[in-house]
A and B are shown apart, each in its own frame.
Chain A
């Protein structure tokens, strides 16, 4: 046994469970991607199923439904970014202007809370609020307008996704910006005050530029993960066949054709296509982020 092995052997043993877990549950499934190029038969297994070249891709790209969910995914992700990205920055700026520490902490405690509630529970709450005899429809009725079937209405579904995601995450999203704001040197504000800048101008010319590096970095990374936005939990618990047209996204589509309909090869093909897009976007975002900040995100 070499000296190095005697010295470091224990460290490798301590790494082993982690390495084995990652190997088995992250790398082995990557091998399973080959079924995107095969006609998968459960009885024959991954190895024994016949190769079909790019036939699965041809089938998928020929599906109208596939392009519809692609477009939905892009559009919904863009909307999320458009509303979900600036909202926490604005809220952080407003919270930063609060002088009473207790008031500020109370508001923070309240708006952080929904982050920890799962989408299953939030869907439950939304069904209660938006059902035919729920709060919102009774208010509408009382105001003399017609009731709206929010959860089966294609025009309402996307606003519902965006608003409920804002409700859940806007408060939590402020943490990073508040910390960045806390790092701004008080001398900058003093200097601005001497120059006669009011609070709005201080916010505009000192706070915002000071948190610009963090903002830029987060924006780049958010754009990079646009297609892996993690909307599955939300959409899957809120949608139903009547809003597939506006709300069905790639992740929910893969789930349905794969696990509900059992079309393994096709679902894997769509998944592989999505993974490739994600990989390119993430690597590009990482590269740009490195250039912007001068260091690797890891």
Chain B
């Protein structure tokens, strides 16, 4: 974020010509940016309004700037749905599992790769890097997962994507930038590399663990493709896949609902509520995400 602050200062440090052209530009620019912000937010607002409308309002008009009458029936339905709530829980479990697993193995590998005198270090690094250029593709991977008996197994969400080479590079860059003195004094005290990694490197890696952890968490929270391919058992579906089933595949899950819910709440009102429910968790962590992701993007960019 510091960069933005600096950008702001740099802009302020510049001249402020009092001529008409400049202030006309400023006004036009501000209006354009406000319109852009509205265009960005309005679809979300529209969906939110739609999710709160009672049946009679919802069928009367599809254009409402704000809800004239509010009902939480759609949300009551969503939170009462076993299918959705089960997915919600599974998403939390899988996301936490994937974050912890990836951070541990990525950090351990990244730390090892910072040791310049490690024999075969370059060869190992190349072994990782090459996979950024070539892959087996969809079908060979599918056949492999099948032969490993990972179909209909939640571990398929965590193990195969256990390490991302991009994240490895980000972590390696960060660990390289840590002061060497702390590590050296631990070495002199006779600590082994594993101990140093656990006691010195990991505790100092807070910022990069947060950055990479958020990368992984958002990716995992939004991951619908892995379950679509590898989890046929609907009771194993995380939220992203449940959403896809409802929003994209237009699964008529309402048919299972009670007659009363059907009469009171419209299919599209419930869909609106589902959309909002899928966005809210991201909104909640968004302040952290924005701070750390921007940093992560920058670390990645400095490397390139």
Contact residues of A with B, CB < 8 Å? 4, 8, 10-15, 17-19, 21-22, 24-33, 35, 46, 91, 94-99, 101, 103-114, 116-118, 120-121, 123-125, 127-129, 131, 133-135, 138-139, 167, 171, 175-176, 178-179, 181-184, 186, 189-190, 193, 198-200, 202, 214, 217, 221, 232-233, 237, 254-255, 258-259, 264, 267-268, 271-272, 274-275, 278-279, 282-283, 289, 297-298
Contact = CB atoms under 8 A, between A and B. Distances in A.
Nearest to B242: A120
Contacts of A109: 290
Given A125-B43, A189-B14, A22 B131 contact: yes
A202 B13 CA distance: 13
Nearest to A42: B143
Given A11-B112, A18-B162, A135-B46, 15 more contacts: A12-B112, A24-B144, A30-B136, A33-B136, A98-B29, A101-B8, A107-B36, A109-B290, A118-B240, A125-B275, A127-B248, A138-B62, A198-B22, A199-B17, A264-B143
Nearest to B2: A182
Interface in B259-291: 268, 271-272, 274-275, 278-279, 282-283, 286, 289-290
Contacts of A127: 247-248, 271
Nearest to B192: A10
A267 B41 contact: no
Given A18-B168, A22-B128, A35-B139, A110 B7 contact: no
A233 B286 CA distance: 22
B40 A19 contact: no
B124 interface: yes
Contact of B218 (A116, A135, A267): A116
A10 B21 contact: no
A200 B4 CA distance: 20
Contact of B142 (A91, A108, A135, A259): A259
A44 B105 CA distance: 35
Given A123-B248, A182-B4, A271-B139, A17 B41 contact: no
A122 to B, nearest CB: 9
B25 A116 contact: no
A296 B155 CA distance: 36
B12 interface: yes
A12 B30 CA distance: 55
A46 B294 CA distance: 44
Interface of B: 3-8, 10-17, 19, 21-22, 25-26, 29-30, 32-34, 36-37, 39-41, 43-44, 46-47, 50, 61-63, 104-106, 108-109, 111-113, 115, 118-119, 124, 127-129, 131, 133-144, 159-163, 165, 168-169, 192-194, 197, 218, 221-222, 224-225, 229, 240, 243-244, 246-248, 268, 271-272, 274-275, 278-279, 282-283, 286, 289-290, 294, 297-298, 301, 303-304
Given A189-B10, A279-B134, A8 B124 contact: no
B272 A128 contact: yes
A178 B3 CA distance: 8
Contacts of A96: 7, 11
B50 A128 contact: yes
Contacts of A91: 36
A125 B44 contact: yes
A12 B221 CA distance: 32
B101 to A, nearest CB: 9
A82 B215 CA distance: 27
B197 A121 contact: no
A197 B204 CA distance: 47
Given A10-B192, A21-B105, A99 B3 contact: no
Given A99-B11, A127-B247, A237-B248, A182 B108 contact: no
A95 B7 CA distance: 10
Contacts of A199: 14-15, 17, 22, 25
B224 A118 contact: yes
A217 B304 CA distance: 8
Contacts of A255: 138
A125 to B, nearest CB: 5
